[in-house]
Chain A
Amino acid sequence: MKIVVCIKQVPETNNVKIDPVTHNLDRRGLAGVMNPFDKNAVELALNLKDTTGAEVALLTMGPDDYAESVREGMAMGADSGYLLSDRAFAGADTLATGYVIAQALKKIGDADLILFGRQAVDADTGQVGPIVAEFLNQPQITYAASLRMSGPNEVTAERLLEDTKQTLVAQLPAVVSVRSELNTPRYPTPRNIQLSFEKPLTVWHHDDLDLDDTRLGQSGSPTVVTKVYAPKPVKRELTPLTGTPSEAASQLIKALKERQLI
């Protein structure tokens, strides 16, 4: 069994700035870390490796320094890594990104399970996983909160949505994006950090992949960001609860009933 986990390096800050010209995230000068949701996907793959002996590869697209997150995933226990890096890929939206990742997955070949984190914490779209599934014409399960092998070529996942749970079964090969409820990612041990530098990390540039140039980078991205802004905080009226705890509780019950919340 071969599992490929697609990961993204994101800025190590909540204070992300927007480039005023391109309206894209301005990642310059920011330290990068592996997207936290992707760590849940890596942990799932490593659990499956522990139980089934699966081979686990990591795949990412970005500048050279994205190799750090691939290395971190290999220090957690993944066997190998792929970095897709080329100026031609820069400025890609989710569709152009998904296209290049899908082409790389075709070249890697024979992946039984392709995992993603539910979304990246910098842009928060959650689109690349489903786009890759469409490009590869594979079944997909998004927002998986649990996953198990339910047959030799079959996974069963519980899909956790806002107010409902779904249990879905997919035949492999399949694409799954996972939620953080799935597991607690392991820490890479100091020894495995050292040993991760002996594992293969393959860098593929533009010419290493079979690509349609009209689908690449900013020019190949149909998404046009016209404006990005932070919503103004809404000031809400506060009504303090007063008196003894019993009186305060009565006031709270009354207020909730008035709003037909109870």
Chain B
Amino acid sequence: MPSTTAAAEKLLLQMVDDYTEREISPQDMPMDKAGDFPAGFIQKLTDTGFLGIMLPQEFGGAGFGPEVTANVLNHIARGNASTAVTLEGHFKTIDQILKYGTPALQKALLPSATDRIFAFSMTEASGGSNPMGIGSTATREGDHWVITGDKIMITNGGLAQVYCVLVKTAPKELSVFVVDQDMPGFSFGKREDFLGLKGTPVGEIVMDHIIVDDDHLLGKVGDGGLIGDSAHDDARILMGAVLTGIMEHDLKIATDYAKERKAGDTPLTDLQVTHRKVADIAMRKETTKLLYQKAAQLKAAGQPYSEEAAMAKAHGSRAAVSAGDDTLQILAGYGYSREYPVEHLIRDARAMEIAEGTVEKMRSAIAKAEFNK
């Protein structure tokens, strides 16, 4: 008999596959065309308990660990990457509240994470990968903090109700606070019109003198850089999982088509040029899967995983763009057509060469980790 953990993961992934096939995959193309989740889509996802997959059971979640959580996003992304990325943004935020939130904040906030979406916001017009370039501030006034600033390009921005925000508490000091859309002074700005991941809302929040107490501070004053890095690391594992799912989608499209299509009298499956492309897609998919799963295993074991998480994202994002390109070439005109999903899989994958730190920044982090060994 398998262990309870293995049996629960098997049952969970069976449910996820069933849900993805019936509820998510049919929305993949409509979502890309409409540029949004369809009405009721997020509510159904919420009602089925997806938001609480990695939330500890004491807060009303399912309490699955990092490996299972990443595998769930992998399976969802086989049907639609936007849905998986929205959950990625939610999970990485919960992770930081679990790591750095006070018990009082966790108790007050986390039970609502099963039916409210959370988001982590760092980027501003004046700084993305350079956090010290941001202009948002939290100023101490009496026994509370006053937060002012403008955050852009937030995954789930506009959809989420709870936001972790990176702000300056001194000219060279970064801190993270938690704010709620219901707080006075909170408003939404514009939604981005991005190239891919069209379902996932990416938008702006405006904070105009939002007042919070000390319990809304994650970690200590000045821990902002640390917490931001931690959020990136957790997100990068999940992005590796999403990218693996995109490549599995590519591989299915490429092999299904090759098995049906002939070039003249020769089936595509008999052509070496097809063999090379399909083998490359399969190898890219498998290496990305190994990378994200290794990073998730390290995280579950309480060991450092920053470098492996960066590898999963840096390798996986370029691999998925290339896998999409090869799939498009196998399908030729059909691959280039917007009536078929291949072209949007490339656009979806391309987002992840930028989001959660550019691949250039990933490579610097990986190289520095190697120099330090």
Q: List the interface of chain A (C-beta within 8 A of B).
A: 33, 64, 67-68, 71-72, 75, 187-194, 196-197
B62 touches A71 (CB 8 A): no
B57 touches A191 (CB 8 A): yes
A197 touches B8 (CB 8 A): yes
Q: Contact flags (1/0) for B1-27 with A, using CB distance below 8 Å?
A: 100100110111011001100000000
B12 to chain A, nearest CB (A): 5
Determine, out of B48-56, B140-148, B162-170, B296-304, the stretch whose residues face the partner at the interface: B48-56
A67: nearest residue on chain B (CB-CB)?
B1
A237 to B141, CA, bound (A): 86
Q: A71-B7, A187-B18, A190-B53 are in contact. Are A64 and B1 (CB under 8 A)?
A: yes
B37 at the interface (CB under 8 A from A): no
Residue from B1, B7, B18, B62 within 8 A of A190 (CB atoms): B62
Q: A67-B1, A197-B4 are in contact. Are A190 and B49 (CB under 8 A)?
A: yes
8 pairs, A vs B, C-beta closer than 8 Å: A75-B15, A188-B11, A188-B15, A189-B48, A191-B52, A194-B57, A196-B11, A197-B8
- Give the residues from 53 to 102 in chain B that come closer than 8 angstroms, CB to CB, to chain A: 53, 57, 60-64
A193 touches B52 (CB 8 A): no
Residue from A67, A187, A193 within 8 A of B8 (CB atoms): A193
B114: nearest residue on chain A (CB-CB)?
A191
Q: List the interface of chain B (C-beta within 8 A of A).
A: 1, 4, 7-8, 10-12, 14-15, 18-19, 48-50, 52-53, 57, 60-64
A196 to B63, CA, bound (A): 13
A67 to chain B, nearest CB (A): 7
A75 touches B11 (CB 8 A): yes
- Which 9 pairs between the two chains have the least Cβ-Cβ distance? A189-B49, A190-B62, A191-B62, A190-B53, A190-B49, A197-B4, A194-B62, A193-B11, A187-B48
Q: A190-B62, A194-B63 are in contact. Are A68 and B50 (CB under 8 A)?
A: no
Residues of B within 8 A of A197 (CB): 4, 7-8
A194 touches B1 (CB 8 A): no
B68: nearest residue on chain A (CB-CB)?
A190
Q: Which of A67, A188, A190 has the most CB of B within 10 A?
A: A190
A176 to B12, CA, bound (A): 30
Residues of A within 8 A of B60 (CB): 191
A83 to chain B, nearest CB (A): 11
B15 touches A193 (CB 8 A): yes
A64: nearest residue on chain B (CB-CB)?
B1
Q: How many A-B residue pairs have CB under 8 A?
A: 53
Given contacts A188-B15, A193-B15, A197-B4, 5 further A-B contacts (CB under 8 A): A33-B14, A189-B49, A190-B64, A191-B57, A192-B49
Residues of A within 8 A of B63 (CB): 191, 194
Q: A71-B7, A197-B7 are in contact. Are A191 and B49 (CB under 8 A)?
A: yes
A124 to B12, CA, bound (A): 28
B229 to chain A, nearest CB (A): 28
A190 to B63, CA, bound (A): 9
Residues of A within 8 A of B15 (CB): 72, 75, 187-188, 190, 193
B1: nearest residue on chain A (CB-CB)?
A64
A187 to B11, CA, bound (A): 11
Residues of B within 8 A of A64 (CB): 1
Residue from A67, A71, A194, A196 within 8 A of B64 (CB atoms): A194
A74: nearest residue on chain B (CB-CB)?
B11
B107 to chain A, nearest CB (A): 18
B283 to chain A, nearest CB (A): 26
A33: nearest residue on chain B (CB-CB)?
B14
Q: A64-B1, A67-B1 are in contact. Are A190 and B10 (CB under 8 A)?
A: no
B61 touches A191 (CB 8 A): yes
Residues of B within 8 A of A189 (CB): 48-49, 62
Residue from A33, A190, A192, A196 within 8 A of B50 (CB atoms): A190
B52 touches A190 (CB 8 A): yes
Residues of B within 8 A of A191 (CB): 49, 52, 57, 60-63
